[in-house]
Amino acid sequence: MAKQHRILTGQVAAITGAARGIGRATAQAFLREGMKVAIGDLDYATAQKTAQELGHGTVAFELDVTRRASVKAFLDGAEEQLGPIDVLVNNAGIMQVGHTLWDEDDATTQRMIDINVNGVMHGVKEIVPRFLARGRGHVVNIASTAGKGGFPGGGTYCGTKHFVVGVSEALRAELRDTGVEVSCVMPVVVNTELASGLTETRGVKQVQPEDVANEIVAALKEARFDVFVPRSVAGITKVMNLLPRAGREGLSRALKADQVLAQIDTSKRAAYELRASHSDPALEGADEAKQLTP
């Protein structure tokens, strides 16, 4: 007999980094399921605009995931307005790529760690005790297929996403039999501003934010941990894991996967890279050349 899918209607979801991209698409998908949604973003003005456009009672909050106090305030505010949170999507993240590890400036390295690593941990540490107290809840961590391998030009980004995969697996084991679920989302390159100017691989095309959002909804209904987008990547990953290192690296080169984060169009990424750099308030007002990795 087929496994009964969970009904999401009436559940409350909080999504970090949801003013645009995957976060926004996920909020929209949740609303179609009849869920109540709170979005948080460092870009509060855009988050407010997004909430207004999405409608259906969506609420927006200013959120800096690098500060645990800000994450707590976001979750507190969401619960005050919408009720106890059932789902937290740790989505906020940045990707600054196109440089070797030794050429990447320290500010860029630290910022990706602060957002992609600490941002997820702050979300986990603030939401899990609430879920445990209620005996239910679902943590969704947005990682990447880059969390399953290391790719030239994006060493730090890959490292942060390896962290998200690893911590999600550990969290799943720690929460076994508690009623609290965990999902780890691993999409290929997604057609958002974050992926602008990247090289496409052979055989695996970019997916849309809506594709990721739909798989997140499916994972919630199925209580599924591994969420590959597209699902075909799960098979590719299994094959890669069976190959010796030389075989994996050869296949990566054949698929041009080794060029995705290294051979980039800097002119197409300039706007995103600048906005990602401006996400660090400490850099505001500094010389622009110091804000971006050359």
Residue 199 DSSP class: P
Any catalytic annotation for residue 157? Answer: yes
30 three-state secondary structure: helix
Annotated catalytic residue, options 30, 61, 131, 157: 157
Tokens of 144: 């990447």
Q: What per-residue string of b and e applies to 14-40 under the rule 16 or more CB within 10 Å gives b?
A: bbbbbbbbbbbbbbbbbbebebbbbbb
Check whether the bond before 230 is cis (ω within 30° of 0). Answer: yes
Residue 56 DSSP class: T
Q: Do residues 180 and 283 make contact, with C-beta atoms less than 8 angstroms apart?
A: no
**Residues annotated catalytic, as ranges:** 157
